[in-house]
A and B are shown apart, each in its own frame.
Chain A
């Protein structure tokens, strides 16, 4: 067996993996895995990337496509999708330490809702800070990046004098309670006009909800200075 056969067999033996495809690019091996909706002990992207790196002498990119059963009422879904409301408005930061001081937390914007309007290609992010509400907007067709842009727009509506730009946003996986885990990177001119990248990671009820929460996570330190 050659190394690619070994790699493929090992990847297909991962629980939940149903298909593996490969694309040998100039300087990289792209691996695509299709995974069912089963819950797994080990996150497939992490495990698969480690396996792939072990089998390849060049950079490897692993793309995981997770299949979920289609929602029964998908065809009749209303054009406006409201995701998350005040019942769970505290950003669910993954890996964050417990016990944030209440006073400090109250100075941070809380996410109230992320609303998508596919018909008009609009996406709204609703934030609240000390009783003040603000709405940020961006194009829904921008997907996860649109949620990041709308969150930045909403933060600026609260008076924050910052100009972060969305660099990328990516859905990573689901958490054990079936929330979506999204990572974002923001570009920000820091003191001395040097560009810095700020990363955020959060789970949410949907990809755009998690992207908005991740954006707040990425801006967290900056916001405490400017709000």
Chain B
């Protein structure tokens, strides 16, 4: 791949050191090192408190581009569990010349290259790694590892937020609680891996059937819950029928019972809402 220092956004040419020292670099060195320190310090200050590590990585890359009038900047990270990851300033898609980035060692790449003086490249890289690692950990903390749906902790928070929105803006929603009827039978007959697979596929069925804005969570071993904004209770059976009949799965949908409670129509507090949905769930289960 050719090195073209004037090729605009081409990241092929932004491997460290390829662009050479700029003619006026010496004159601007002090300013540059100061600016670089600001970028790094900002990153360090925010990494612990930010809600999004990914957003922080882009913010740091964009700051580099802006502070130094760069054509482009990218960072390559290598993280266990998520593998090699390439981030480009501006969140932009890769272009053909970026091919080298996908196989380049972890590092910070800029176009043109930044001189090393006064710039702790490794610190900035470490902070980007930390930001990404925090995001992954945060994701894992909020999601059920088997189904990748939200977990109980996320669900409690989402339900609190939904109720707060209802009380403030009057936005109604339905709470659905489901319980898989035959998980024990699947586990006993086919083994626990089969039971896990049944739950995993059920989670995927929920994801496919839900609309943007709906939320589903696994709140217990065989218990699931959904928060469905602007959905009347009488529409829920049709939604669950879509869940049961979703094509493309290797297993039949496990049988489940469910109960629905409406907010604010039936309750506006978490405990009462869950109690109503639970009671209806057991009523449904008792009829089988």
- Contact partner, A5, options B55, B85, B86, B87, Cβ 8 Å: B55
- Contact partner, B92, options A23, A36, A65, Cβ 8 Å: A23
A19, B94: Cβ atoms closer than 8 Å: yes
The 9 nearest A-B residue pairs measured at CB: A21-B93, A32-B93, A19-B86, A1-B52, A5-B52, A57-B212, A5-B54, A18-B84, A22-B91
Known interface pairs A8-B91, A19-B87, A65-B94; 8 further A-B residue pairs with C-beta atoms within 8 A, sorted by A's residue number: A9-B139, A12-B82, A13-B82, A18-B83, A18-B84, A21-B91, A53-B212, A57-B212
Interface flag for B280 (CB, 8 Å): no
A5 to B135, CA, bound (A): 9
A23 to B91, CA, bound (A): 8
> What are 13 sample pairs from A and B whose C-beta atoms fall under 8 A apart?
A9-B54, A9-B136, A13-B139, A18-B83, A19-B85, A19-B88, A21-B92, A32-B94, A50-B207, A50-B208, A55-B212, A63-B93, A67-B99
A54 to B210, CA, bound (A): 8
* Binary CB contact string for chain B from 54 to 92 against chain A (1 if under 8 A, 0 otherwise): 110000000000000000000000000011111110011
Instruction: Look across to chain B and name the residue whose beta carbon is closest to the beta carbon of A3.
Output: B212
Interface flag for B221 (CB, 8 Å): no
- Chain A residues in 8 Å Cβ range of B55: 1-2, 5
- Chain B residues in 8 Å Cβ range of A21: 88, 91-94
A55 to B207, CA, bound (A): 11
Instruction: Look across to chain A and name the residue whose beta carbon is closest to the beta carbon of B101.
Output: A19
Chain A positions 105-164 with a Cβ under 8 Å from a chain B Cβ: none
B52, A18: Cβ atoms closer than 8 Å: no
Q: Majority SS of interface residues in chain A?
A: mixed
Interface flag for B193 (CB, 8 Å): no
Total residues of chain A contacting the partner, CB 8 A:
30
* Binary CB contact string for chain B from 80 to 114 against chain A (1 if under 8 A, 0 otherwise): 00111111100111100011011000000000000
A1, B84: Cβ atoms closer than 8 Å: no
- Most chain A beta carbons < 10 A, residue from B83, B88, B138: B83
- Chain A residues in 8 Å Cβ range of B98: 19
Interface flag for A170 (CB, 8 Å): no
- Chain A residues in 8 Å Cβ range of B101: 19
Instruction: Look across to chain A and name the residue whose beta carbon is closest to the beta carbon of B51.
Output: A1
Chain A positions 12-52 with a Cβ under 8 Å from a chain B Cβ: 12-13, 15-19, 21-23, 30, 32, 34, 36, 50
- Contact partner, A8, options B51, B54, B138, B207, Cβ 8 Å: B54
Chain A positions 46-87 with a Cβ under 8 Å from a chain B Cβ: 50, 53-57, 63, 65, 67
Instruction: Look across to chain B and name the residue whose beta carbon is closest to the beta carbon of A19.
Output: B86
- Chain A residues in 8 Å Cβ range of B87: 19
Interface flag for B213 (CB, 8 Å): yes
CB distance from B89 to the nearest CB of A (A): 11
A18, B212: Cβ atoms closer than 8 Å: no
B93, A67: Cβ atoms closer than 8 Å: no
- Chain A residues in 8 Å Cβ range of B85: 12, 18-19
The number of residue pairs between A and B whose CB atoms lie closer than 8 Å in the complex comes to 72
Instruction: Look across to chain B and name the residue whose beta carbon is closest to the beta carbon of A70.
Output: B99
- Chain A residues in 8 Å Cβ range of B84: 18
* Binary CB contact string for chain B from 128 to 171 against chain A (1 if under 8 A, 0 otherwise): 00000001101100000000000000000000000000000000
A16 to B83, CA, bound (A): 8
Instruction: Look across to chain A and name the residue whose beta carbon is closest to the beta carbon of B83.
Output: A18
- Chain A residues in 8 Å Cβ range of B135: 1, 5, 9
- Most chain B beta carbons < 10 A, residue from A9, A22, A65: A9
Instruction: Look across to chain A and name the residue whose beta carbon is closest to the beta carbon of B214.
Output: A54
CB distance from A20 to the nearest CB of B (A): 8
CB distance from B146 to the nearest CB of A (A): 15
- Chain A residues in 8 Å Cβ range of B54: 1, 5, 8-9
- Chain A residues in 8 Å Cβ range of B52: 1-2, 5
A22, B93: Cβ atoms closer than 8 Å: yes
- Chain A residues in 8 Å Cβ range of B94: 19, 21, 32, 34, 65
B102, A34: Cβ atoms closer than 8 Å: yes
- Chain B residues in 8 Å Cβ range of A53: 212
A12 to B84, CA, bound (A): 9
- Most chain B beta carbons < 10 A, residue from A13, A16, A22, A54: A13
CB distance from A188 to the nearest CB of B (A): 28
- Chain A residues in 8 Å Cβ range of B51: 1
